[in-house]
Amino acid sequence: MNKHLGFVGLGKMGAPMAGRLLDAGYALTVFDTREAALAPFVARGAKAAGSPAVLASEVETVLVSLPTPGVVKEVALGREGIGAGSKVKAFIDLSTTGPRAAQEIAKGLADKGITAVDAPVSGGVAGAQKGTLAVMVSCPAALFQTLEPVLEVLGKVFYLGEKPGLGQTMKLCNNLLSATALAITSEAMVMGVKAGLDPRVMLDVINAGSGRNSASQDKFPKAILPRTFDFGFTNELMYKDVKLFLQEAEAMGIPMWVASAVGQLWFLAYSQMGPEKDFTTIVQCVEKWAGVEVKAPDAT
């Protein structure tokens, strides 16, 4: 396929993914609303476009990594969006929008002769930097075969089928489990510390036993015990993902008792700790009730 790609959205996830594509030898035309985000890519030889529509008039394949369904819809279907471009044929959405938004975008772009590729990713900033993301793809099978080499630059690629939105459904299921792990591990760790357990020993035991999960293995040791709260994902984005999951489940008529409780705790973190705070600050909601902190002895 053509080695010239477009990339829209050079944030915490988009920037390292776009950087890996440059490293792999792809030429990029890029767009972001922030000049500061564009500068490092221009310095590396990428071309900056004045709008998504301009970008989509220069390349056949566009990748986007954007924060919310509303922003993705505007970039895809807005007056200056990808759909207004004259050359683009494939729109690869690496964002988390939910399946219904993905289906709406796919229909809107199909009317303009553009095929939407649903390709949300999981693995965080570290995975984006290392190229170890899980990439969950739904699109026509023939197009997937063409695009797979591009997506493999970003991580391990999973093809889920042709139906628009299947990638988004998979991503929401994955993120619900991640959100639940962090929420429930926060409650367990706070209870143990309140009872007098050393949090480091607690994590050693949990990670050697049946309770181990992504929060106990990564988030607590790296961002909560040292009290840095800098894992790289915000309360706003995690609450958005859990809320999207619950909305989809409700639309399908599936009761979600545990997920609903998880959503309530994430709304608390979103509203009390702040939407832009790192999502590991959810533990502080529970700490405040208990009057303890889950921290290493030498943490500030």
Check whether 1 has a pLDDT greater than 90: no
Architecture of domain 169-290: Orthogonal Bundle (1.10)
Check whether 138 has a pLDDT greater than 90: yes
Check whether 300 has a pLDDT greater than 70: no
Under 8 Å between Cβ of 45 and 101: no
| Every domain range in the chain assigned CATH 3.40.50.720 | 4-163
User: Which pLDDT score is estimated for 285?
Assistant: 97
Catalytic residue among 89, 171, 240, 243: 171
Q: Does 4-163 carry CATH code 3.40.50.720?
A: yes
How far apart, in whole angstroms, are the C-alpha atoms of residue 104 and residue 97?
11
Q: What is the pLDDT of residues 8-59, one digit of tens each?
A: 999 999 999 999 999 999 999 999 999 999 999 999 999 999 999 999 999 9
Region 120-141 average pLDDT: 95
Of 230, 223, 221, the closest CA to residue 276 belongs to 230
- Confidence class of residue 2 from pLDDT cuts 50, 70 and 90? confident
The answer to whether residue 171 is catalytic is: yes
- Confidence class of residue 248 from pLDDT cuts 50, 70 and 90? very high
How far apart, in whole angstroms, are the C-alpha atoms of residue 154 and residue 160?
17
Written as one letter, the residue type at 82 is I
Q: What is the pLDDT of residues 58-92, one digit of tens each?
A: 999 999 999 999 999 999 999 999 999 999 999 99
Region 236-256 average pLDDT: 96
Q: What is the pLDDT of residues 142-186, one digit of tens each?
A: 999 999 999 999 999 999 999 999 999 999 999 999 999 999 999
How far apart, in whole angstroms, are the C-alpha atoms of residue 230 and residue 279?
8
| Every domain range in the chain assigned CATH 1.10.1040.10 | 169-290
* CA 199 from centroid of its chain's CA atoms: 29
